[in-house]
Amino acid sequence: MSNTIHLRSKSGKAYSFVDKLIGAGGMKDVFFAPDKSYVVAFFRDKQDANSKGRLENIVGPYRERIFTGTESNYWAERYCWPTDIVEHDSKLGVIVPTYRKNFFFEHGSRNNDSNNIKGKEKEGKWFASANLRTNVLDPKELGDWRKHLLVCLNIVRAVRRMHAAGLAHSDLSYKNVLIDPSTGGACMIDIDGLVVPGKFPPDVIGTPDFIAPEVVSTLHLKLNDPNRKLPRRETDLHALSVLMYMYLLYRHPLRGKKVHDVDDDQKDESLRMGSRALFIENPSDPSNRVNPDELKKSEVPWEPGKKPYAILGPYLKALVEQAFIQGLHAPNLRPTANDWEMALVKTVDLIQPCSNPSCQQKWYVFDNSTKPVCPFCATHFKGNLPVLNLYSFRKDKFTSDNHRVMVYPDQYIHEWHVNRTLFPNEKVTDEQKKPVGYFKNHSGKWLFVNQKISGLIEKSDNNKPIPVGSSVELKDNQQLILSKEEGGRMIHIQMVTA
């Protein structure tokens, strides 16, 4: 029978934990509270004054900065943030909320959970590998490609907010992010090691595969050497880009066939991920291409020759190039979390459901062709496909937003489509989340049903009003004005027939 130990934080708040180890990470031992609503994680090693100061700031002013206000519930779903500090037997510990239920495997692995992972945490690493997805995980755990886009969106929002607070994670990787592809959810963990630039330096350099090249290439230098590069916001941005690439393409962007030192594996790895890091799909240098003959059978369908990064669509494609070509060795050129967020939102609007019920990914990005094909199962689209080109009202005229919305049955339009000044993030209210219109296919004709847009007019038909509760048939080259307010949108319709 395990003992229950009671203790108090410096603020006098009472906590308890069951003296039975439930987990051990690289630095901490973890114990459940009696009701399992939180855990107490004790550092094995004695923490110095710098580490204590970091923790006090993380559970104090930095936590208050993020979790105070109307958006607190939103961020509580995307971080597992420490709430307090305790001491027991001369060891420092942090109080951390228990992970939500959806971040534990419900089905686990294939063949009756032969890998014994049912009930364990959904570390992101399980979902970033084509081999693990194909040969290990139960298919019910995998979600679809649209859900993976939502996973990525939740991750970049968490990183964006953290950076806005003046913090850096320092060890951003698929080990420190829990994801749930069945819902599109994501939660950042291991917050207690956050870096405060200029105040609290990093305790770790990061996780292999996610450490920025400039950090890898200066590891041999002493910590106080001015040329030594340590984890910071820009190194987070490299790790974030790696996560985005891996969660959408299930392979690593830098692990190709190029060998830099045939005699020394450690030096070869340091060069591969450091000073000589090279994108496996670099269009101007093919020397680090993936060799399909060296891949496992489960990885072959996802090798770049079959699934190039171009399938991510124009917005994400541009950021992949910025991250792994222009910004790979130039940290100041790397895309920010905000850049990724903008691109992901526009990409979610650009996806189309695959008509093949057996397609594992179920969704794909429209490739701007007259004959769309799902890149995951090679199924051709057949029928009429309306594409909405968005324009917004600026200084007395409508200007292209370089933003498209794909139409499919029961696709919705929201207020952020009606006006560009509203962006779908944590600031959107419950009322603003309600759809204002939707699309349906009736007897081979596409209709837009106006639910809430009071000023909707068909510009291409002498500014004909489309009252709330009525519908309008979509036609090629048609123009619908949703709003004439500043930032208000006009839709120009392009019909694709395949």
pLDDT in tens, 223-272: 888 899 988 999 999 999 999 999 999 999 999 999 999 999 999 999 99
Q: Cα dist. 289→35, 128, 283 in Å? A: 51, 19, 10
Mean pLDDT, all residues of the chain: 93
Same domain, 163 and 279: yes
Same domain, 94 and 173: no
Q: What is the pLDDT of residue 128?
A: 96
Q: How far apart (Å, rounded) are the C-alpha atoms in residues 455 and 458? A: 10
Radius of gyration of the chain (CA): 25
Where in the sequence is the domain holding 137, given as residue range(s)? 104-349
Same domain, 207 and 317: yes
Q: What is the pLDDT of residue 60?
A: 92
**Closest by Cα among 480, 397, 394 to 437:** 480
Residues 6+ apart with CB under 8 A from 13: 84
Exposure on the CB side of residue 158, measured as CA atoms within 13 A: 29
Question: Does residue 343 fall inside a structural domain?
Answer: yes
**In this model, does residue 64 exceed pLDDT 90?**
yes
DSSP string, 16-52: EEESSEEEE-SSEEEEE-TTSSEEEEEESSPP-HHHH
Q: Tell me, what amino acid is at 477?
A: N
Same domain, 62 and 111: no
Q: What is the pLDDT of residue 1?
A: 58
pTM of the model: 0.95
Q: Cα dist. 267→219, 231, 275 in Å? A: 12, 21, 11
Same domain, 459 and 477: yes
- For the chain, give the number of residues: 498
Q: What is the percentage of the chain residues whose pLDDT exceeds 90?
A: 81
Question: Does residue 85 fall inside a structural domain?
Answer: yes
Question: Does residue 109 fall inside a structural domain?
Answer: yes
Crossing angle for the helix pair 233-249 and 314-321, to the nearest 10 degrees: 130
**Closest by Cα among 141, 200, 215 to 168:** 200
Same domain, 82 and 202: no
CATH of the domain at 168: 1.10.510.10
Question: Does residue 363 fall inside a structural domain?
Answer: no
Residue where a domain terminates, one of 83, 98, 113: 98
Same domain, 193 and 302: yes
Q: Looking at residues 322-334, what average pLDDT do you find?
A: 98
**In this model, does residue 376 exceed pLDDT 70?**
yes
Position 204 confidence tier, pLDDT thresholds 50, 70, 90 = confident
CATH of the domain at 401: 2.60.200.20
> Which tens digit of pLDDT belongs to each residue from 52-61?
888 999 999 9
Residue where a domain terminates, one of 98, 123, 157: 98
Question: Does residue 376 fall inside a structural domain?
Answer: no
Q: How far apart (Å, rounded) are the C-alpha atoms in residues 160 and 121? A: 24
> Which tens digit of pLDDT belongs to each residue from 134-184?
999 999 999 999 999 999 999 999 999 999 999 999 899 999 999 999 999
Same domain, 111 and 183: yes
Same domain, 292 and 339: yes
